[in-house]
A and B are shown apart, each in its own frame.
Chain A
Amino acid sequence: MISLSRIKAVFLKELVQMRRDRPTFAIMIMVPIMQLTLFGFAIDTDPRNMPTAVELRDDGPLTRSLLASLRQSDYFKIVRRVSTEAEGERLLQAGEVSYLIVIPEHFERDFVRGERPQILIAADASDPVAASGPIAAANEIARRAFAPELDRLPRKLRGGVPPFEAVIHRQYNPAGETSMNIVPGLLGIILTMTLIMITSIALTREVERGTIEALLSTPVRASEIMIGKTTPYILIGFVQTAIVLLAARVIFGIPFLGDPAPFFAALFMFIFANLMLGYLISTVAKTQMQAMQMTFFIFLPSILLSGFMFPFAAMPKWAQGIGEALPITHFLRVVREVMLKGAGFAEIRGDVWPIAVIVTVLSILSLLRFRRTLD
C-alpha cells in the first residue's frame, strides 16, 4: 500500500524547501556552533598552567616521556614531585595544587604486558567546569606521550583501546558528573532542540499556508507524508553531530574512546525519536506559535530531568520516571558510556531499546492523530 515513489516525492519536496529556507537552514547549522561556543566560554575559563603534583612510583622510559609531555603541555604546570600519597592528598586539599597525577608501581611492566595499567588523576573538582578541560587533556597527553612506545609494542596492543587506563578521581565533588559530560550532553540537547523545533511545524506550516488542501486531495497516505517529511532532517542531525564531535575533539580535547558503530546506531534512533516527537506536535498544533510553545514544553524536562543538568541518580523517583520516558535521557547515557568509557553494544543495549520503543509509540500516535481530511 505504501508507495516509495510518493515518499520520495515528499522527501524531495522537503529537501528543496529546506534548502530554500535559508534562515532555518542557517539556524540548524549555527545552533550547535553557538551552543558550543557559549558553553565553551564557561568551560574554558583559561584552565592553563594548572598547578599539578606528580607521584611517580615507577621509573622508566614510558614514565619519563609522560612526565616530559606533561611539562610541555599548557594545561599542567608541574610544581611538585611527591613521594607519598598522603603528601599529594594534603597538597590537593590545601589547594596548593589542582591535580595530582599518580603513575603506579609496575606501570611499565603492565603496559608492555597489555594489562592496561591505570594512571590515576586526582582532581580538585570543586569547580567542575574549570576542571573538565585538563582532565580531558590528560588523557590525550598520555596517549601522545606513549605514541612512540606504542610502535614498539606487540601488534595486538596497537590501535583500538589504549593500553593504559586514565582513572579520574574527582575529589570534593564525587557526584559532579557535569564537567566532562557537558560537551557530550550538549550533543543530545542540540539535537533535541533543533530537530523537534523543525519538525514541529512540518504539518502546521502546511495547514497555515493552506497547502495541506492540495496535498490531501492527492492519493498520498499519512505514513508517506510522515516518512517523507521527517527523513530529510536525519541528514541535518548527522551534520550537527559531526560538528559537535569535531568541536569536542579539537576545542575541548574530548576523545572518542568507544566503537563508532553502536554510537551511530543509538544516534540514528535518537534522531528519529526527536523527529517523531516534533512530528507528533505538528499533528496537534494549530499554529506555528502553538508548535513552538509545545516544543519548549519538551525542552524543559529534556534539560532538567535527563541527567544533563543534574545527576540522574540524585533525582526523586517521579522525576526519574519522566526522565526515562524522554529519548534524550537514554541517549545521554549512551554518549557518555561510548565516548568517555569506550562502551560497546553490550553495555548500551539497555538504553537503545527504550529509544526504539519511544520511536514506535510516537509514530503510531502521529499516524492516529493525523487526519487525511480537513475536519
Chain B
Amino acid sequence: MNGAPVIDVKGLTKKFGGRTVVDHFDLAVPKGAIYGFLGPNGSGKTTTIRMVCGLLKPDGGSGAVLGLDVLKESDRIKERVGYMTQRFSLYGDLSIRENLEFIARLYSLDNVKDRVDAALKSLGLSDRAKQLAGTLSGGWKQRLALAACMIHEPELLLLDEPTAGVDPKARRDFWDAIRDYAAEGVTTLVSTHYMDEAVQCDRIAFIAYGKKLIDARTADIPDEVGLFARRIETPALDEATRRLKSAGGFDVLARFGAAIHVAGRDPDALAAAMKSVDGLPEIEVETIEAGLEEAFIYLMTGATDNFANGLETRVGQ
C-alpha cells in the first residue's frame, strides 16, 4: 500500500448562482480510512461529495482522487468509485435484480449474472430479487443502494447520509459491512447525522456554511471544539431545565438518563448559568470533561452561530 491519500483535494469551491456553497475545501483521506463527514443540513456535504466523484464541476480548486485528476479524469474516477446518493436514486419500477444488473452492465463487468447473484447473497437480498425496488422499505432500499455501488468492487466508497431514516438494527448491520470493507482496504467517506455513526469513524471533517471548521481524529474532536461542561443531578430535572433555559449562557443542554449535561465554550458564562439552579432539592452540580456527545450536539445543532441561546437536545433512547 502506498501512502498517497485516496482523496487529496485542495481549495474545492462551488457556487450556485453567485452563492458560495462550498468554500475552499481541503481534504486528505488516507487509504483504508473511514472518514466521517459532518455538518448541519445545507452546509455543503452533498455538493462536496458530488465534486469528488465528478458529478459537479468545481468552480475552483484542484486535486486527485485515486491518483486521478479530479477536474479532468472524472470518467476514470467513476469506474473506481462507488457513490451512494443521499436520496434513493435507483429505479422504483425495476426489480432488485434488474437494478443491479443494469448497474453492473454500465460498469462493463463480465459475468454480470454471477456478480449480481453474489451481491444479492452477501447483502441477504436473494429472496427479494424479484421485488420491485419501489416497494421496499427504507432499510432494504439502503441495502440495495449499497449493493449497487459495491457491485464493481470500487476502491473508494462515497456514502451520503446512507442511514437516514433507517432503523437502528439495519444501521448496525450497515456499519458492520462498512467496517468489513475497510478491513479489505476500501476507503470510505461517509456523511452522517448520527453520533453513534460518527464515533465509528477514524477521522471526522466538520463543515458548516461551506467552510471546513474541524478536521481531526475522532477522539480529539472534544478538544478541538473546546467545550466546558457540567453534570447536574436533581429529582426536579424539568424545573432545572426550565431555569437553565431562561438563564442562557451555554450552548448545549442534553439529558442523559437522570442527569442533565450543560456545556458551553465560555467558562464564565457557564458558571453564571449554574447559579440559576441553586437551591433546587438534592441538587448536585459536577464539573466534567466535555465528551464526544456534547461536542457532537454542539456541532450538529448549528450552535456555531447560535451562542446566545442555549440549545436543548435529548440524547439516548
Contacts and interface: CB of A to CB of B under 8 A. Distances in A.
User: Which residue among B75, B79, B88, B91 has the maximum number of chain A CB atoms within 10 Å of its CB?
Assistant: B91
A283 B47 CA distance: 22
Given A211-B89, A374-B55, A13 B102 contact: yes
Contact of A13 (B57, B83, B91): B91
B148 A216 contact: no
A220 B106 contact: yes
A38 B45 CA distance: 56
B107 A219 contact: yes
Given A16-B94, A213-B87, 10 more contacts: A13-B102, A20-B93, A21-B93, A211-B89, A211-B91, A215-B89, A217-B85, A218-B107, A219-B75, A219-B107
Interface in B39-67: 50, 53-57
B112 to A, nearest CB: 9
Contact of A17 (B81, B83, B94): B94
Interface string B235-246: 000000000000
Interface string B72-92: 000100110101010111111
Interface string A204-226: 00000111111111111000000
Interface stretch (A3-11, A136-144, A174-182): A3-11
B105 interface: yes
Interface of A: 3, 5-6, 8-10, 12-13, 16-17, 20-21, 209-220, 373-375
B85 A373 contact: no
Nearest to B83: A217
Contact of A219 (B78, B94, B98, B101): B78
Contacts of A12: 102, 105
B89 A210 contact: yes
Contacts of B106: 6, 9-10, 215, 218-220
A3 to B, nearest CB: 6
B89 A214 contact: yes
B53 A373 contact: no
Contacts, number: 79
Contact of A374 (B50, B75, B78, B145): B50
Contacts of B88: 210
Q: Which 10 A-B pairs have the closest CB atoms?
A: A9-B105, A214-B89, A218-B106, A217-B83, A213-B89, A210-B89, A213-B85, A13-B102, A219-B78, A220-B106
A375 B58 CA distance: 10
Given A6-B106, A373-B56, A210 B85 contact: yes
Interface string B245-269: 0000000000000000000000000
User: Which residue among A20, A214, A219 has the maximum number of chain B CB atoms within 10 Å of its CB?
Assistant: A214
B108 A5 contact: yes
B103 interface: yes
Contacts of A373: 54-57
A351 B46 CA distance: 51
A17 B93 CA distance: 7
Given A16-B98, A17-B91, A219 B57 contact: no
B93 A214 contact: no
A16 B94 CA distance: 7
Contacts of A9: 101-102, 105-106
A374 B56 contact: yes
A21 B108 CA distance: 27
Contact of B94 (A10, A13, A212, A216): A13
A148 to B, nearest CB: 57
B147 to A, nearest CB: 12
Contact of A375 (B56, B91, B93): B56
A64 to B, nearest CB: 64
